[in-house]
Chains A and B, each alone.
Chain A
Amino acid sequence: MSAAAVLAVVVGAAAAKGELTGDPKAGETIYARCFACHALAYNRTGPKHCGLLGRRAGSVAGFEYSTAMKRANWVWNQQTLDRFLADPLKTVPGTTMGYAGVKDRQERADLIAYIEQAGRSEVCRAR
């Protein structure tokens, strides 16, 4: 194996751990795909996204989660969100989020970066 190939494998492994850099501006456009069910500041068909990063899965007060999501035993961070958004129904079988997922890794990174940035914005700080 050449050095370049070794490097490619190493870089690939790093990227697989969700170490892509997300662009929040691009992520804002991707977030429009979520608007049928989600808002930043209030619960809709899906739970609100303010405060998502660092929150326990299935823990927004007043939102009725699926049993599957209530049992999801993790905190939302870049890695867990990346895994969930890639294929929600496969990651949490039984979730009510009946959505195929965001299949492009860069798009997921952008989307997560936007949600993280939005969490520090006026609209989220007001809540």
Chain B
Amino acid sequence: MSSRMQSPDASLSLASDAPDLETRRSFLGKSGLVLSGAAVALLAGRDVLAKGNRSAGSDVNVLNSALGAELEAIAAYQVGAESGLLQKPVLNLAVTFQGHHKEHADVLAKTIIKLGGQPVSAKEKYTFPVETLKTQSDVLRFAAMLEKGAVSAYLGAVPVFDNRDLAKAAASILGDEAMHWAILRNALGDAPVPAAFMS
């Protein structure tokens, strides 16, 4: 087990059963994406539905809420990047983090489809408290608040997935969100990692 944990392909080895491997390979080939271990674990979630497990519907619900939040985060970073308030190198951070959220959203949507669900679409319009965003610090503080919320949301999602591969993938995204939060705090001059635990 411990040797598998160290491998970047850990999710693949956990998720793969021989009869299924070919299908997965052909899907990955078609997607044209370089998929991370987490992405592979997410896609593995479709096995649940194939087994006729009713809980897949609940997992789709959870994934769709995560997708909705990711899509909003993408829009939020767009507002931040276009605000003219962010200077390099902070602007670069915002663009990089937005890219991560796009990757999260992409793999969440694909997984929902694989589970037989219908992924939510981005809203035409999002509400952001733009009237309170006047400086770079305001934008960073707002982004940090959303990122911390994302950590909590994924933390709260991990135990509710019926499929443990999905729980693992959520934990993988959680780690990414925690890094976003810490780096934003650092950019603000706050203690980047203020506590030993997240809740």
Using a CB–CB cutoff of 8 Å, the interface residues on chain A facing chain B are 30, 32-37, 39, 42-46, 66, 89, 93-101
Contacts and interface: CB of A to CB of B under 8 A. Distances in A.
B145 A100 contact: no
A101 B145 contact: no
B65 A96 contact: yes
A35 B145 contact: yes
A37 B58 contact: no
Contacts, number: 71
* Interface majority SS (helix, strand, loop, mixed), chain A: loop
Nearest to A123: B129
Contacts of B66: 98
Interface residues of B, number: 26
A97 B65 contact: yes
* Interface majority SS (helix, strand, loop, mixed), chain B: helix
B164 interface: no
A99 B72 contact: no
Contacts of A45: 65, 68-69, 72
Contacts of A30: 199
Contacts of B152: 32-36
Contacts of B160: 89, 98-100
Contacts of B153: 33, 36-37, 99
